[in-house]
Amino acid sequence: MSGRTRDCSDTLEPEMTPAEQAFLRDLIRRENFSGTHLEIGTAAGGSLCSMMSCFHDDARPRFVVVDRMNYFPRQKDIVCQNLEQHGLSPAAVDFRESSSATAFHAAAAQQERFDFMLIDACHKILAVMADLRWMRLLNVGGIACFHDYATKFPGVKLSVDRLLARYNNYEIVGQADSLLAIRKTAICRSGEISLADNAYGMAMVIPLTIERKLKKWNLRKSA
């Protein structure tokens, strides 16, 4: 359990800018998917509440949340409190309290499919590469959103850019600040994220670690 506190554990707000939140809500309302919605990485559930509130109670699709629930103390309780404060029942959410990798294997074994995904968990390159395997479970026509798609988070940026460059079954729907939305246009028979993609991720770990340490060091020097 992380002892670290996060602002969102007090504010219960999404860890997103106002422009990102508005973009996400507009997208969910416009697409109005009836299939399962998935959030990987929920923090205090701010974006979850915002997404679920886009639907009337009697027309809301299933929501699945995957999170290790150790982002701050009592994370799961706080997410449930947030849902209740929004008039949403925690029982309506299918919580999978595990790592994204473990949850992916279980979902793939059950041949689950999703219409909408918000991917916003660990931003390190190998973790994001692993998260991209969830794209195999996205329905054709479905949308995946990636938060922190920005040069400040090279693990997210490089992985998603590689997906878009190497898999031609995706098109960009739009972007607000660091929230990117892409649509799946066809099935990829070989399955998203190959051994070569993982090898690329591994090759980038050391350069990205050095870059991160240098940035920290420069910041400390200039403080």
Ligand X SMILES: C[S@@+](CC[C@H](N)C(=O)[O-])C[C@H]1O[C@@H](n2cnc3c(N)ncnc32)[C@H](O)[C@@H]1O
Given the rule CB under 6 A, which of 10-18, 54-62, 80-88, 158-166 is the region that contacts ligand X?
10-18
In order of 36, 60, 199, the CA distances from 32 in angstroms are 11, 9, 37
Nearer to ligand X, 66 or 182 (CB): 66
Q: At closest approach, how far in Å is the CB of 210 from ligand X?
A: 22
Question: Can you tell me the distance from the alpha carbon of 113 to that of 140, in angstroms, rounded to the nearest whole number?
Answer: 10
Return the residue of 23, 63, 71, 104 that touches ligand X, per CB under 6 A. 71
Return the residue of 100, 145, 146, 193 that touches ligand X, per CB under 6 A. 100
Q: Which single residue brings its beta carbon nearest to ligand X?
A: 41
**Residue type for position 170:** Y
Nearer to ligand X, 7 or 57 (CB): 7
Name the H helices within 90-177: 100-109, 125-131, 154-166
- Residue 82, interface with ligand X (CB under 6 A)? no
Nearer to ligand X, 41 or 142 (CB): 41
Beta carbons of 118 and 51 less than 8 angstroms apart: yes
- Angle at which helix 195-222 crosses helix 154-166, to 10 degrees, equals 150
Nearer to ligand X, 98 or 169 (CB): 98
Q: At closest approach, how far in Å is the CB of 189 from ligand X?
A: 27
Return the residue of 66, 78, 107, 125 that touches ligand X, per CB under 6 A. 66
In order of 48, 112, 141, 159, the CA distances from 35 in angstroms are 16, 11, 11, 26
Return the residue of 122, 126, 173, 208 that touches ligand X, per CB under 6 A. 122
Question: Can you tell me the distance from the alpha carbon of 106 to that of 100, in angstroms, rounded to the nearest whole number?
Answer: 10
Q: In what order do the strands lie in the sheet with 37-40?
A: 93-97, 63-67, 37-40, 114-119, 138-146, 179-184, 170-176
Residues in touch with ligand X (CB under 6 A):
8, 14-16, 41-43, 46-47, 66-68, 70-71, 99-100, 120-122, 127
